[in-house]
């Protein structure tokens, strides 16, 4: 390529390939948002390869354990290779019964972080760092928890974006990048074009999805006007949060009680049947709520993490701010749109399912802005991403580009 002919996205992809020696499909899909990809790669590189409390093989094995909680074979296979390349003991890949006891001790916090983080208590931490030959130092534990959380979230992105392994049947090792019109092969999204295929199915589909888009934008305008005319009281916002929390119980994605976890995945975890349960249980009168203002990343988390695992706090803070504020001020074919209201509704709906409440947010906006099919997709990707289907992905925001829909994942 001629240097002056390379755009920002291509330049970032070339840089990643020259650094890691591979170009995975996660990078290709995420490169639709180059600013976020750059921040993501920087933080992930630091966690996995730079100086830190944990030895390299431990880092990749912890990534495997985290991905296995969501049955993400794509990430498991990726880090099995990296684990061996960094000197990991091959026997550990036979299952968790073959790993050191101190790694086994992460199983409990791994499953709670992945599925029901509100159950974690200070006793879980104390148990891991207590004096003994298998204890974890606080810096080591912070590094491990950052990795666990990172790969739980990344598994959601993989399933939510329909990312497939980089396979080529003509290649001797069966693994090589396949791209179609500069877009990665994805079960849920790829249609050989970054525009959404459902729009081209019929003229009726086009009109229908256009009317949905116009209706959404009209609701945004109306809510903005209502907010300016009359601000909801604190009591009203509390009531609307509790109502939204209870209504999230009704967002059902299907019956999966008897789903099986494959042997290739289950070997890396304990208690494979443990999964997400609705935070707001049916029949509970007083549902516990975590007020986000009581413990914040900015005031508490950042300083703690950065003190125990040098510089990771800065990298995570940059990534969090990037994704929280990411917008191109577009909605499908419309430009110069303030998308703040819609992005906040998505952000707060995810937190609502984990019982986290923002005192300054009116949760009545969630029901106004997020259609039911979008709620089903978000709840699935957030709580049990391995159940995500193409039908879920296709059912919402039919007028939007794939790059816009990936932001929800």
Which residues are known catalytic residues?
72
Rounded CA-CA distance 295/292 in Å is 6
Confirm if 175 and 85 have CB atoms less than 8 A apart: no
Q: How far is CA 305 from CA 300, 315, 341, in A?
A: 9, 11, 30
Rounded CA-CA distance 226/93 in Å is 57
Q: Which two tokens stand for residue 278?
A: 């609705």
Rounded CA-CA distance 44/66 in Å is 14
- The four Cα atoms 155, 160, 165, 170 give a dihedral, to 10 degrees, of 180
Confirm if 46 and 319 have CB atoms less than 8 A apart: no
Distance of CA 247 to the CA centre of its chain: 22
Rounded CA-CA distance 154/62 in Å is 13
Handedness of CA 194, 386, 266, 276 (dihedral sign): positive
Q: Which two tokens stand for residue 66?
A: 């985290």
Those residues whose C-beta lies under 8 Å from the C-beta of residue 201, and which sit 6 or more positions away, are none
Which contacts (CB < 8 Å, 24+ apart) does range 196-199 have?
196/398, 196/399, 196/400, 196/401, 196/402, 196/405, 198/394, 198/398, 199/398, 199/399
For the chain, helix (H) and strand (E) counts, in that order, are 19, 6
Nearest CA-CA partner of 17 in 50, 41, 34, 43: 41
């Amino acid at each position: 390529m001629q240097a002056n002919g390379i755009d920002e996205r291509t330049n970032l992809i070339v840089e990643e390939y020259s650094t890691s020696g591979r170009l995975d499909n996660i990078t290709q899909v995420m490169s639709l948002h180059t600013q976020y990809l750059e921040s993501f790669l920087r933080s992930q590189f630091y966690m996995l390869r730079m100086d830190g409390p944990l030895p390299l093989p431990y880092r990749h094995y912890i990534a495997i354990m985290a991905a296995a909680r969501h049955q993400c074979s794509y990430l498991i296979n990726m880090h099995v290779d990296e684990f061996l390349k960094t000197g990991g003991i091959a026997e550990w890949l036979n299952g968790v019964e073959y790993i050191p006891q101190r790694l086994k001790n992460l199983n409990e916090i791994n499953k709670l972080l992945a599925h029901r983080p509100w159950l974690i208590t200070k006793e879980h931490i104390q148990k891991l760092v207590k004096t003994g030959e298998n204890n974890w130092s606080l810096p080591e534990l912070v590094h491990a928890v950052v990795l666990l959380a990172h790969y739980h979230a990344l598994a959601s992105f993989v399933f939510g974006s329909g990312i497939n392994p980089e396979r080529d049947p003509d290649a001797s090792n069966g693994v090589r990048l396949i791209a179609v019109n500069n877009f990665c092969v994805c079960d849920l999204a790829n249609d050989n074009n970054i525009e959404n295929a459902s729009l081209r199915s019929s003229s009726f589909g086009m009109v229908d999805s256009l009317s949905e888009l116009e209706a959404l934008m009209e609701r945004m305008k109306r809510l903005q006007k209502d907010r300016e005319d009359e601000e909801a009281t604190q009591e009203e916002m509390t009531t609307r949060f509790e109502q939204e929390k209870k209504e999230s119980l009704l967002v059902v994605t299907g019956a999966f009680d008897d789903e099986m976890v494959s042997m290739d995945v289950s070997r890396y975890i304990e208690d494979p049947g443990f999964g997400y349960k609705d935070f707001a249980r049916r029949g509970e009168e007083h549902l516990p709520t975590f007020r986000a203002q009581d413990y914040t990343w900015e005031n508490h988390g950042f300083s703690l993490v950065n003190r125990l695992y040098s510089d990771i706090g800065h990298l995570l803070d940059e990534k969090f701010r990037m994704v929280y504020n990411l917008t191109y001020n577009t909605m499908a074919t419309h430009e110069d749109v303030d998308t703040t209201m819609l992005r906040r509704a998505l952000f707060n709906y995810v937190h609502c399912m984990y019982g986290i409440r923002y005192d300054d947010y009116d949760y009545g906006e969630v029901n106004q802005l997020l259609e039911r099919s979008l709620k089903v997709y978000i709840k699935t990707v957030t709580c049990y991403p391995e159940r995500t289907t193409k039908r879920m992905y296709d059912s919402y925001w039919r007028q939007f580009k794939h790059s816009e829909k990936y932001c929800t994942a």
